[in-house]
Amino acid sequence: MTLARIFLLLLLTLACFPAFAADRAATERQFSAWLSSTAWPAARATGVSESTFRRETAGLSLDWNLPGIVAPGERPPEVNYQAEFKSPADYFAEKYMAPVVRSGQGLMREWSKTLASVETAYGVPASIIVAIWGRESGFGRVALPKDAVRTLATKAFMSDRPALFLDELVAALKILQDGHIQRAEMKSSWAGALGQPQFMPGKYLGFAVDFDGDGKRDIWRSVPDTLASIGYYLKAHGWQPGARWGVEVELPASVSCTLEGPEKPRPIADWERDGVRPVSGGRLSEKKLGQTGYLMQPAGRHGPAFIVSWNFYVLKLYNESDLYASFVGHAADRIAGRESGPFVTRWQAPSGFSRGAVRQMQLRMESRGVDVGGADGLVGFKTRIAIGEWQRANGLPVTCFPDVQTVKRAG
Ligand SMILES: [Ca+2]
């Protein structure tokens, strides 16, 4: 950089900074007014007392370091659709999976009595609970960087989902009022998720459990409360005791990948009759999946195929992603010693196109009335099925996954 350019940059910085600071000061004043005019009535309506509200919001300022915040009058940041579409393979890399498995096995032993009680109470296997604990917060070892109230208040005042975060802010104040945790210890992620199970405050009010009997639902410091809260959440969302989440299978070419998803349940016996077999050997009906199975293929024909039970979709109610639920299920299998390594089938998903190109394809499909589960440039089961049906109608190999040609032409 030349001296002249450095000088110019310096001038620009000096010229901009006072205005920037003045904008921020004005926004902070708007925020203070908003706390009184909007946040307080919402809090009062759900039973938060004036003394709690005043104590917890006195002197509260905005957290300008949060990602994705939108100051009043500004446009929301755009999703980066130029970014390369990412293969599911990265998500299951051993560098993420192995630490969860290794530490999970040790913690299964250390907390075996508590986990046995939780399993008796809620019917959810210890290995599943431990895998979620590891995936969410590294077994509580990941330091939570944020003050939950400030984070939620900032997002309620300036984010693209203000109503949702106002509800979460009010729920957080309720948790403090009920005395479950001190403000200084009520830490959250950057997104406002609380404690070791990473519950949003509303989820906490509905599903956090006091399992060590001290009268506090302490998902920040108590391991028994953390483990039981995860277990109770899954039970309350329909976990079926005794059924495994799923098994990796060999899918014969004669079985269409468009049979995927939670809307296409089939008896396990039907999958078996069609030649679907566990990659580990044996028969599908011996794998404790229950009576009904669903096909699930995160990378379509380019990666592992699974027959999953309803419990897979219960895991998705913890975190809405096929990859998350598969990660947790597979980590649990390895923690419990049912599996010893990565999936047998390799991920070979195509690359070389952007998330925006996927979105354009989805928009074309939507304009024909096809349900792709939202045109967001991400590939869930509805988009995979839509691609598979388009490929079949056009006489192409049916893979149920995007590739360079498909994203250009399909629609
Ligand atoms: Ca407790």
The Cα–Cα gap between 38 and 14 comes to: 36
The answer to whether residue 14 scores a pLDDT higher than 50 is no
Å from CA of 213 to ligand 1 middle: 5
Residue 154 CA to ligand 1 center (angstroms) comes to 29
The pair of three-digit structure tokens given for residue 323, joined into one six-digit string:
């990859």
Give 180 Cα–ligand 1 centroid separation in angstroms.
Answer: 8
Contact indicator for 115, 227 with CB cutoff of 8 Å: yes
Convert the pLDDT of each residue in 261-302 to its tens digit: 999 999 999 999 999 999 999 999 999 999 999 999 999 999
Q: For tokens 């620009």, what's the residue?
A: 12
pLDDT above 90 covers what percent of the chain? 87
Å from CA of 217 to ligand 1 middle: 5
Q: Give the pLDDT of residue 66.
A: 93
Sign of CA dihedral 392, 398, 399, 405: negative
Q: How many angstroms is it from 9 CA to the middle of ligand 1?
A: 55
Distance (angstroms) between ligand 1 centre and the Cα of 225 equals: 5
Distance 210 CA to ligand 1 centre (A): 4
Mean pLDDT confidence for 25-46:
97
Lowest mean pLDDT, pick from 74-88, 113-127, 266-280, 292-306: 74-88
Around Cβ 308, how many Cβ atoms within 10 Å? 26
pLDDT in tens, 43-64: 999 999 999 999 999 999 999 9
Place of tokens 């030349």: 2
Is 350 or 11 the better-scoring residue by pLDDT? Answer: 350
Banded model confidence at residue 170, pLDDT cuts 50, 70, 90: very high
219-269 pLDDT, tens digit each:
999 999 999 999 999 999 999 999 999 999 999 999 999 999 999 999 999
Residues whose CB is less than 8 angstroms from the CB of residue 323 and which lie 6 or more positions away in sequence, other chains included: 88, 91, 92, 298
Distance 334 CA to ligand 1 centre (A): 29
Q: Who contacts 296 (Cβ-Cβ below 8 Å, separation ≥6)?
A: 246, 260, 261, 305, 306, 307, 308, 312, 322, 326, 381
d(CA 388, CA 256): 9
- Asked whether 280 and 234 are in contact (CB, 8 A), the reply is no
Chain centroid to CA 19: how far? 38
The DSSP secondary structure of 218-264, one letter per residue, reads -TTT-HHHHHHHHHHHHHHTT--TT--SEEEEE--TTS-GGGBSTT-
Ligand 1: centre distance to CA 170 (Å):
22
What is residue 2's predicted lDDT score, i.e. its pLDDT?
52
Under DSSP, the state recorded for 280 is: T
Distance 220 CA to ligand 1 centre (A): 10
Pairwise CA distance, residues 411 & 405, whole Å:
12
> Which tens digit of pLDDT belongs to each residue from 394-405?
999 999 999 999
Tokens of 283: 């028969």
361: tokens are 């394809």
pLDDT tier at 337, thresholds 50, 70, 90: very high
Q: How far apart are CA 126 and CA 119, in angstroms?
A: 6
The Å distance, Cα 37 to ligand 1 centre, comes to: 35
